[in-house]
Amino acid sequence: MKAIVVDDSRAMRAIIKRALIAEGFEVCEAGNGQEALDELNKNGAPDLALVDWNMPVMTGFEFIQEVRALKQFDSMSIMMVTTETESSQVEAALEAGANEYVMKPFTPDVLQDKLLMLGLAR
C-alpha cells in the first residue's frame, strides 16, 4: 500500500514515515497541501494521505477540501494528524472529508489503531 505524508516539519514527516514503513507502506512526502496536490495530479492518489493542519501555501484543511471536490481521488483515505484538538476542528475536518483524526502528540500504536479503523492495517 502507498501513503503520502504531508507536513511542513521534516522531523514530523520522518516520524510518521518510519511508523508507516513499519506497517508495510511505501511512503512519499510533501511539505504542504499544494505540493501534495501536485504529487497526486502527477502520480495518482495513494491509498492514504496523512495531513497536518497548519502548513504554509496550502493548509491541510484546504487540501482536504480541494481533494474531496475532485472526485478522482475519492478512494484515498485521509487522516488529519495535527496539534489542533478542539472538538469543533475535529468535526470540521471530518465534515470536509477526512476519514480519521489523530491529535499530536501520539504514539505509533495510535497510528496503527487508526489504520485498523480505516481497514488499512496489514
Partner 1 sequence: MALGSPEAHFLRDLVYQRSSIVLDDTKGYLIETRLDRVARAAGLKDVNQLIHEARAGRMVQEIVEGITTHETSFFRDRHPFDALKEKVIPELLERRQGRRLHIWSAACSSGQEPYSIALTLREAFPQLDASRAHILATDLSEAILDTAREGRFKQMEINRGLPARLATQYFQREGMYWRAKPVLRELIEFKAMNLAEAWSLYPRPDIVFLRNVLIYFDVPTRKRILDTVAKNMAPDGVLFLGAAESTLNVDDRWVTEKHGPARYYRLPQQEKR
Site string for partner 1, 67-96 (x = CB under 8 A): ------------------xxx--xx-xx--
Q: Does 12 bind partner 1 (CB under 8 A)?
A: no
Q: Give the distance from CA 114 to its chain's centroid.
A: 12
Among 116, 119, 120, 122, binds partner 1 (CB under 8 A): 116
Q: Does 106 bind partner 1 (CB under 8 A)?
A: yes
CB within 8 A of 70, min separation 6: which ones? none
Considering only the stretches 16-24, 35-43, 52-60, 111-119, report the one whose residues sit in contact with partner 1 under the rule CB under 8 A. Answer: 111-119
Cis peptide before 56 (omega within 30 of 0): no
Q: How far is the CB of 114 from partner 1 (least distance, A)?
A: 8
Q: Which of 94, 72, 86, 82 is nearest to 33 (CA)?
A: 82
